[in-house]
Structures are given as C-alpha cells and as structure tokens.
Amino acid sequence: MSGKLVGEFPNPFRRAIRSAPNPLDKSTVISIFPLAIDENKPTIQPGRFQIPPGSYAKPSFLTVGSSSWWKELSDQEPILEIPVSSIQVADSIVTDYCNGLLGCDMGDRKPGIFFIPGDINLGSLLKDHKLLLEDAKRKQTLWYTSLIKLADAEWARSSGNPMAIWDVMRLAAKELNVDKPWIKDFQLAELVNCVACGALRNPVYPICQACHTVVDKSLATKLGIAS
C-alpha cells in the first residue's frame, strides 16, 4: 500500500522552497494602454503582476524577474523547481492579456503593451527603443479603429441599445477624439417611451428598437439612416 500513513511526519525535502533568483534576469513590460492591468498566474511564483494605466506621453513600466513552478517526481524525492526566465514571464503577461480581446489579432491590431529584455526606464526607452514605442502606438490605434467600427455595427444592429457597446469601445473613441452617439455611458442614457408603440427606447437613436419606427426623422437624416 502506497501513500502516507496516518500521523506520518511530512517529508522535509518535499517543501517547495524557491531558490534565489538571478538578479540580472530582468525584463520590462511597458504599457501605453490607459487601463490598469492585473494578471494573476497561479501556477508560477511570483505570479501576480500589476501594471498601472499608461499613455504614449507617459508609459507605465513593470520590471519582472524570473519565476518558478514545481514538478513532483515521487513521494520520496524533493519537489523539482522549474525556473521560468523573465523573458518568458513578460511575454506571458503581454500575450495572456491581449489574446482573445475583441478586435485584437495579436499582430497589427492590439493594445499598446509590449516588453523589452532588461531593466528599462523612460530615458532608455526613448533613447534606445523609440521605434518599439511608435510601433505600439500604431498597433493600438489600429485596434481602436477596429473597435469603433465594431461598435458602429453593434449600435446599428441593436437599434441604439447602449448596453451593446463595450466600455473599451467608448475608450477607443475618446482616445481617437471620434464623436459617436454611443460614447455616452449607458448608465446616463435616459430611456423614453416610443410614440408609436409605447416601448422604452434610447432617445439618442432615431429608430425604436421594438417596432422599428423612425420616431426622429431629423436625427435619422443627420445620421444618414433612410426613413
């Protein structure tokens, strides 16, 4: 019969104790995305990474070192520590956050988040890595543009339902100084009764979502919607 016996003392060699990390193994995650990022990776230690909001004029920085995870070989052998380099950690932070975001293709359209090996500050970024900063801005602008197009489609498809618009879509429009009827927070949008059917509708959109009646012809003409 294998396994531990009742009352058996734990094997002191089975403790997952991390060895001293290499102080020279550093990478820096840089963000010009104006929202805070909180990435939690429970399989590695350390595994919690928080990046403040950033901008092109004032990027935010997070310097990360190496992390570790542990592999069990047998009940009688010490738990094997598997080191994860700072480059792998930084790449995982960027990839895991961006991958799967609406409108992000992980290529030319993505949030302005990237990493550079080494301990980077604003001075070294602007002096030695300005092209990477410019590329991040370009990709983020393309992503914002894609989100705005998606928001326009959702706004039309939902007949002006403000809950169909993702908050980051509103952020994208504001960052690019694009005026859209769906920028207004849905919590501030007052619904009114449709004069045709009585259902509640969004007053900033000229068509009733329930009966599809054009209730505001002047607004419809302004928005280029045929009546």
Count of the separate structural domains present in the chain: 2
* Residue-wise pLDDT tens digits, 16-68: 677 788 889 999 999 999 999 999 999 999 999 999 999 999 999 999 999 99
User: Containing domain of residue 126, as a range?
Assistant: 12-140
Is 191 part of a structural domain of the chain? yes
Together in a domain, 190 and 154:
yes
Q: Give the span between the Cα atoms of 172 and 62, in whole angstroms.
A: 23
Q: What is the pTM of this model?
A: 0.75
Spatial neighbors of 190 by CB under 8 A, at least 6 apart, are 203
Helix (H) or strand (E) holding 69: strand 67-71
Distance, CA of 113 to CA of 119 (rounded, Å): 16
Q: Are residues 99 and 171 in the same domain?
A: no
Residue 57 and residue 109 in one domain: yes
The residues, ordered by sequence, that sit 6+ positions from 21 with a Cβ below 8 Å of its Cβ are: 65, 66, 83
With beta carbons less than 8 A apart as the criterion, state whether 90 and 105 touch: no
Task: Kindly state the tokens that stand for 36.
Answer: 């805070």
pLDDT tens digit string along 124-177?
Answer: 999 999 999 999 999 999 999 999 999 999 998 887 788 889 999 999 999 999
End of a domain among 108, 140, 172?
140
